[in-house]
Structure formats: structure tokens, C-alpha cells
Structure 1
Amino acid sequence: MLILSLASLSPSVYAADGADMTRARIETSEDGYRLSAAFSFELNRGLEDAINRGVPLYFTTEVELTRPRWYWFDEKAINATQTIRISYNVLTRRYQAAINGSLQQSFDSLDDALSLIRRPSRWIIADKGALQVGEIYRVAVRMGLDLAQLPKPFQVNALNNSDWRLSSDWKTFNYKAE
């Protein structure tokens, strides 16, 4: 009986450490195609401690658009990524967020900085002419902690420690190009 009750608790423990995608859609604008997405997650104690000790964390959102073809492999129309770096400055006691290494913002709290990842701005994933109008594309989106961009000593630790695994599953949906 005790084993069954512990087994029923374990999926919720693992689900709490992951990220869930609450919304994802492609929007058409004058500049091109934009991704509108929202994620739900909380950092565990290990990740909070790391960032508060000065270790920058990198969160990467990936988007893939493919066009199914019956005669050959699916055509990969678009592959786009956006990386947001969150770091803590001990001297100013403020959190810094940088999008793709260029746009940088400063925040008073970690939760405010994470809101940039939870609800990213609608970023352009492709130019206006990149998709064929009227065609249906399969869209796949995911977000996760990018371990490859961590400092080398932390990469070794992250591979062996489940506290450093934070990512969402791929969310797929169809989009008809406008």
C-alpha cells in the first residue's frame, strides 16, 4: 500500500520541475510571422541558488515549421531560436535579462526577470515571404534551460543532477499561412 501511494506521488513531483506551455500561436504582421507563446514554470531551489550566486542561466525557445509532403520528407521551412540570459549582479542587487545577447533589461526581483521568459514578447520568427500563402504548416515549439551555454564546471554537474533539467515538451499545432 505504501509503495502504491509513493508511486502515485512521483509523477506530480517530476511535473513540478518541468515547464508547461500554456499558449502558442503564430501571428501574421507587416514585419513577418511572429510567435506568441506563454510558459508556466517555477525554478527549483538549486537553480535559484545558482543564479543568486552569480551563475547566469540561459533559456532557449525553439520553433520549427515544417510543411508535410506526401512524396518526400517534410520540408523544413523555418527553424528559429531565441535565447534569454538571466543573471544576478551582486553589486547592484538587480537581475539582468538579455535577449539573444543584445537587448538588456534590469529587474528588481527574480520573478520579474522570469516573466520575460514566461511571457516572451512576440518575436519575429520569419520574414513575410518565408511561407507559401494558403499552405498548412506543422509548428513545433518548446522552451528549456540551455545547459550547453553554462560555464564548463556547471555543465558537468548539470548532466548528473536532475535539478538542472527544466524544459517543456514539444507543443505541436497546425498553421495555415496567410
Structure 2
Amino acid sequence: MNRSEKRIAAFLMCLIIGVSAHCPAMAGDARLTNIIVTNTRDDLLIYLSVDGAFTPKIEAAINSGVPASFSFFVKLYRTRGMWFDKEMTDLTLTHTINYNSLKKEYAVSRSWDANSPVIVYSLEAAKKLMTEIDSLKVISLAQLEKGRQYQIQAKAKLSRVTLPYYLHYVLFFLSLWDFETDWYTIDFIY
């Protein structure tokens, strides 16, 4: 190996180490927390929140006007022992945040919330709205059988940002702040 090949190899190694060192810090810390499955008289409800979803780079991008969307996936199965589980419901929810720098306000749209979009004036309040699901109706209790075992799974993902074509070259770094949590599972008997 001659001297220029060694330099190229060293540069590529530094580049690979540098990129891999940043990715886990940006995306690996997000997780679902405070998952609660409960019921009202008529419905099965879920509460959950995401911790570690907002890195400084995501916050800076949002404050510069780049919209961000979180997708939440909630699935309910009736477990059947030695047979395939029966899927009872499969929900996909989307939370989107937009910052209006002229009005200095954040608009948070939540696909499952009738009062959407919600306008708030601080990033902390917007982050709370973006990362929490409270009293989401999963399924009617009339569709569940008493004494049967069920399993609810939940996951969150930062959806890819859709930018105008001319910004793809300027903001290429945004692909580095995608995150996806693991599936979280709760077993229960109704």
C-alpha cells in the first residue's frame, strides 16, 4: 500500500467512525415510557409517552421552520396459545409539529385528537404534545371476550421529513435524525 492509499484508507476509517459515533447518540436513546393500558366502561384505552425523541439537532431544525412528524403504531392481538394470534386492531397515529417564526408559535396536529391543531408558544409545551398519547381509544370492550388473553404492542417513529426538492441538497443531514423505538408489549387478561 503506497502513501496515498494509506491516507485514503485513514480518511475513510475516520469518516466511518465519525458517522457511526453520531448516529446512536441521535437516534438510539428514544424509548416509550409510561405505557398504561386501562379501560372505561365502554373502551380499552392506552396512555404512553416517548422519552429522548428531541435531540438538539431536531429542535434546531424545527425552530428553523422544518416540520417534523412522529408516527405511533398500536396493535392489539388476542393470543391463542399454539395457534397464530388474531389481530384485533392496528392503529397508526401521526403527530406533526410546525413552527411559525413570524407569530412565534408552534402548531401541533395529532391525527387522533378532535381539538387538533393545538397552538402553543413554547417548545417545551409543543414537545409534550408531540410525545404523549393520552386516553387513546384502542377498541370497544364489546369486541373483547372476558377471560381471554390479549397482547397490546406499541412503537414510535420519527417520520422522514418531506422537503422541497431544492432543500434536499442543503439539508441532507436531516436523514441522520430519524429514530424508531423498539416494539413494547403488554400482556393482559380481560
TM-score, length basis structure 2: 0.74
Residue aligned with 1:76, SS: strand
Find the partner of 2:183 among 154, 170, 174.
Answer: 170
Match for 1:98 among 109, 130, 141? 109
Q: Is 1:137 the equivalent of 2:137?
A: no
Task: Give the 4+ runs in structure 1 shifted more than 6 A.
Answer: 10-13, 154-160
- Note if 1:109 corresponds to 2:138: no
- Paired residue for 1:56, among 67, 71, 75? 67
CA distance in 1, matches of 2:57, 2:142: 44
Displacement of 1:92? 0.6
What SS does structure 2 have at the residue aligned with 1:14? Answer: helix
* 1:3-152 paired onto structure 2 within 5 Å: 14=24, 17=27, 18-70=29-81, 72-100=83-111, 103-147=116-160, 150-151=162-163
**Structure 2 vs 1, CA of residues 160 and 52 (structure 1 numbering), >3 Å: closer, same or farther?**
closer
Cα offset, 1:33, TM superposition: 1.0
Relative distance call for 1:134 and 1:156 in structure 2 (3 A) is farther
Match of 1:69, as an amino acid?
A: R
Q: CA separation in 2, counterparts of 1:161 and 1:57? A: 10
| Inter-CA distance 84–41: structure 2 relative to 1 (3 Å threshold) | same
Given that 2:70 and 2:95 are in contact with CA atoms closer than 8 Å, whether structure 1 keeps it comes out as yes
Cα deviation, 1:5-32, whole Å, max 9, x if unaligned, reads xx9xx88972563311222121111341
Counterpart residue identity of residue 150, structure 1 = T
Structure 1 gap ranges (5+): 1-6
Partner of 2:13: none
State, as a whole percentage, how many aligned pairs show the same letter: 24
- TM-score under structure 1 normalisation? 0.78
User: CA RMSD for the aligned pairs?
Assistant: 3.0
Deviates further, 160-169 or 43-52: 160-169
What is the alpha-carbon distance in structure 1 between the residues aligned to residue 147 and residue 122 of structure 2?
A: 44
**How far off its partner does 1:48 sit?**
2.1
Gaps of 5+ in 2: 1-16
Change (3 A) 1:160 1:89: closer
> How many Å apart are 1:152 and its aligned residue?
6.2
Q: CA–CA distance in 2 between the matches of 1:166 and 1:135?
A: 34
CA displacement 1:34-67 (0-9 Å, x = unmatched): 1111221142233223212222111111111112
